[in-house]
Amino acid sequence: MSQATSQLHDQAAEAAVSTTWKQDLFALVKMGIVNSNALTTFAGFWLALHFNGISFWSAWDKMIFTMLGSSLIIAGSCSLNNYIDRDIDHLMERTKNRPTVTGKYKGSFVLTFGLLLLLIGFGLLLLASPMAAMIGFIGTFTYVVLYSLWTKRMYTLNTVVGSISGAVPPLIGWSAIDGNLDFVAWMMFLLMFIWQIPHFLALAMKRVEEYRAAGIPMLPVVHGFEMTKRQIMIWIICLLPLPFYMHALGTVFMVLATVLNIGWLALGLYGYRSADDVKWSVKMFVYSLNYLTILFVSMIAVTLF
């Protein structure tokens, strides 16, 4: 065993000792992703109730099936992603303590666990509606096969492909109530799709050396910071007209969403020529997190008044 390999195993062993079973489980299913997608799924469900004139209490059972089912298929997809990436996760700081790296969970367990979560999740979504289950399957297939197994390690467009799967939760929520997806539902999908690209490109800038070490062809790795920054700004500009296509949510929402879009654009322009590109990317990434939370919470809030 080489010295480098020995050190890697020592680090993995140390990490394995310092994490709890709860931390390991949350890392395996990427609980942060599960939680953030729960908000967007519920927003889709809630707005479908609102626009179809259906009482929440008359559909509480569908809400439970939808929220649990979508959370489980996302958790299962993330588990399979960890299974697929277990050979490169030790090369990245943010993934080196995952249980698939430290040895807490064997590959066979992770694979079985992920498939079991998907099976249960799809079953619950079927109880909500067949359309919700079908959309959930499309999202899972895109994330696990088209993104994790194919484009992630081959093309800079991996971010765009992965954003498709990340945009389906609002459609899952909506389709549990209304299989004839409304225009607003598709605008939620489009908003989520576009938002993810500058969000993840900003993260890729921050973690560029880790992605380089892992051999993942993220845009800043292949084409550098300047092109990545231009792409981030272009995608943010693409968000600008979307609030006006969601006028059914009212003037308050359109104004708030527009202010958030302009704020993100202004933040990007303000530090665009900064000498510290990584610092710029961190600010853009943090703003994107707050942007999404405020936007989807406001979608729900404006229907209450």
DSSP string, the chain: --HHHHHHHHHHHHHHHHS-HHHHHHHHHTHHHHHHHHHHHHHHHHHHHHHHT--GGGGHHHHHHHHHHHHHHHHHHHHHHHHHTTTTGGGSTTTTTSHHHHTSS-HHHHHHHHHHHHHHHHHHHHHH-HHHHHHHHHHHHIIIIIIIIIGGGT-TTHHHHHHHHHT-HHHHHHHTT-SS--HHHHHHHHHHHHHHHHHHHHHHHHTHHHHHHHT---HHHHHHHHHHHHHHHHHHHHHTTHHHHTGGG-HHHHHHHHHHHHHHHHHHHHTTT-S-HHHHHHHHHHHHHHHHHHHHHHHHHGGG-
pLDDT of residue 94: 84
* Residues 239 and 295 occupy one common structural domain: yes
- The reply to whether 175 and 212 lie within a common domain is no
Report how many domains make up the chain.
2
User: In terms of domains, do 29 and 96 share one?
Assistant: yes
Q: What is the Cα–Cα distance from 121 to 139, expressed in whole angstroms?
A: 13
Predicted local distance difference test score (pLDDT) of residue 273: 87
Q: What is the predicted pLDDT for the residue at 93?
A: 87
Same domain, yes or no, for 167 and 247? Answer: no
- The last residue of one of the domains, among 181, 199, 234, is 181
**Residue 19 has what pLDDT?**
82
Question: Do 167 and 26 share a domain, yes or no?
Answer: yes
Residues 197 and 268 in one domain: yes
Q: Which of 166, 181, 196 marks a domain boundary?
A: 181
Instruction: Give percent above pLDDT 70 in the chain.
Output: 94
Range of the domain at 40: 1-181
For position 255, what pLDDT does the model report? 98
- For position 7, what pLDDT does the model report? 45
Domain final residue pick, 181, 206, 221: 181
Low-confidence ranges of the chain (pLDDT < 70): 1-17
Same domain assignment for residues 162 and 224: no
Q: What is the pLDDT of residue 305?
A: 85
Same domain, yes or no, for 161 and 295? no
> So what's the pLDDT on residue 4?
41
Same structural domain, 36 and 171? yes
Regarding whether 245 and 224 lie in a shared domain, the answer is: yes
CATH code for the domain of 188? 1.20.120
Asked whether residue 106 falls in the same domain as residue 168, the answer is yes
CATH code where residue 48 lies: 1.10.357.140
One domain, residues 92 and 233:
no
